[in-house]
Amino acid sequence: MTPPPVKVVISAGSNIDRERNLPEAINRLRRHHHIDIQRISSLYDTDAVGGPAGTAPYFNAAIVATTQLTVDELRAELRAIEDSLGRVRTDDPNAPRTIDLDISFYGDVVDAPSLPDPDVLVQPHVAIPIAEVAPDWVHPVTGASAGDIAEGLGGDGVRPIPGLRLRSHQLESRGIDFDDVTDVYAPRMEALVRQQLLELGEDPEREGLVRTPLRVAKAMDFLTSGYSATLEDVVNDAIFDAEGAEEMVVIKGIEFYSMCEHHMLPFFGKAAVAYLPKGQIIGLSKVARIVDLFARRLQVQERLTNQVADAMIRVLEPHGVAVVIEGRHFCMMMRGVQKQDSSIVTSAMRGTFSSDARTRNEFLDLTKR
Task: Give the model confidence (pLDDT) of 166-204 as tens digits.
Answer: 544 444 443 333 333 434 456 678 889 999 999 999 999
* Structure confidence at residue 175 (pLDDT): 38
The stretch 353-358 carries a mean pLDDT of: 95
Helices 146-153 and 124-133 cross at an angle (nearest 10°) of: 140
In this model, does residue 142 exceed pLDDT 70? yes
List the catalytic residue out of 125, 301, 307, 319: 301
* Structure confidence at residue 51 (pLDDT): 66
* Structure confidence at residue 335 (pLDDT): 86
pLDDT 10s digits, 212-225: 998 888 888 888 88
* Structure confidence at residue 180 (pLDDT): 36
Q: Chain centroid to CA 276: how far?
A: 29
Q: What whole-number distance in Å separates Cα of residue 223 and Cα of residue 343? A: 21
Of the listed ranges 24-28, 209-213, 274-278, 319-323, the least confidently predicted one is: 24-28
Q: Chain centroid to CA 85: how far?
A: 22
Active site residue 125: no
Percent of the chain exceeding pLDDT 70 equals: 92
Cα distances (angstroms) measured from residue 87 to each of 22, 29, 40, 306, 339: 12, 16, 22, 43, 52
List the catalytic residue out of 263, 280, 326, 362: 263
Cα distances (angstroms) measured from residue 67 to each of 34, 59, 195: 6, 24, 34
Residue of 344 and 49 predicted with greater confidence: 344
Active site residue 317: no
List the catalytic residue out of 261, 302, 317, 340: 261
CB atoms within 10 A of CB 126: 28
Q: What whole-number distance in Å separates Cα of residue 66 and Cα of residue 253? A: 36
* Structure confidence at residue 186 (pLDDT): 62
Please, which pLDDT band fits residue 208 given cuts at 50, 70 and 90? very high
Give yes or no for a contact between 119 and 100, defined as CB atoms under 8 angstroms apart.
no
In this structure, what are the phi and psi dihedrals at residue 9, rounded to the nearest 5 degrees? -120, 125
* Structure confidence at residue 356 (pLDDT): 94
Q: Is 200 exposed, middle or buried (0-12, 13-18, 19+ CB in 10 A)?
A: exposed
List the catalytic residue out of 82, 123, 125, 260: 260
Q: Domains in the chain, please, with CATH?
A: 6-173 (3.30.70.560), 185-226 (1.10.286.10), 229-368 (3.30.1130.10)
List the catalytic residue out of 68, 202, 331, 362: 331
List the catalytic residue out of 262, 302, 317, 340: 262
* Structure confidence at residue 184 (pLDDT): 46
Active site residue 301: yes
Q: What whole-number distance in Å separates Cα of residue 145 and Cα of residue 133? A: 12
Residue 276 forms beta bridges with which residues? 320
In this model, does residue 44 exceed pLDDT 80? yes
The stretch 87-107 carries a mean pLDDT of: 89
Active site residue 262: yes
* Structure confidence at residue 1 (pLDDT): 64
pLDDT 10s digits, 262-279: 999 999 999 999 999 998
Of the listed ranges 22-31, 79-88, 105-114, 264-273, the least confidently predicted one is: 22-31
Query: Mean pLDDT: which of 93-102, 182-191, 303-312 is highest?
Result: 303-312
List the catalytic residue out of 32, 139, 319, 329: 329
Mean pLDDT of the residues in the chain: 88
Of the listed ranges 77-81, 138-142, 323-327, 340-344, the least confidently predicted one is: 340-344
pLDDT 10s digits, 225-234: 888 778 888 8
Residue of 108 and 175 predicted with greater confidence: 108
In this structure, what are the phi and psi dihedrals at residue 177, rounded to the nearest 5 degrees? -115, 105
Q: Which residues contact 128 (CB under 8 A, 6 or more apart)?
A: 44, 150, 153, 155, 158, 160
In this model, does residue 37 exceed pLDDT 90? no
Active site residue 362: no
Please, which pLDDT band fits residue 162 given cuts at 50, 70 and 90? low
* Structure confidence at residue 183 (pLDDT): 42
Active site residue 205: no
Active site residue 260: yes
The stretch 316-320 carries a mean pLDDT of: 94
pLDDT 10s digits, 114-134: 899 999 999 999 999 999 999
Q: Helices (H), strands (E): how many in the chain?
A: 13, 14
Q: Chain centroid to CA 274: how far?
A: 26
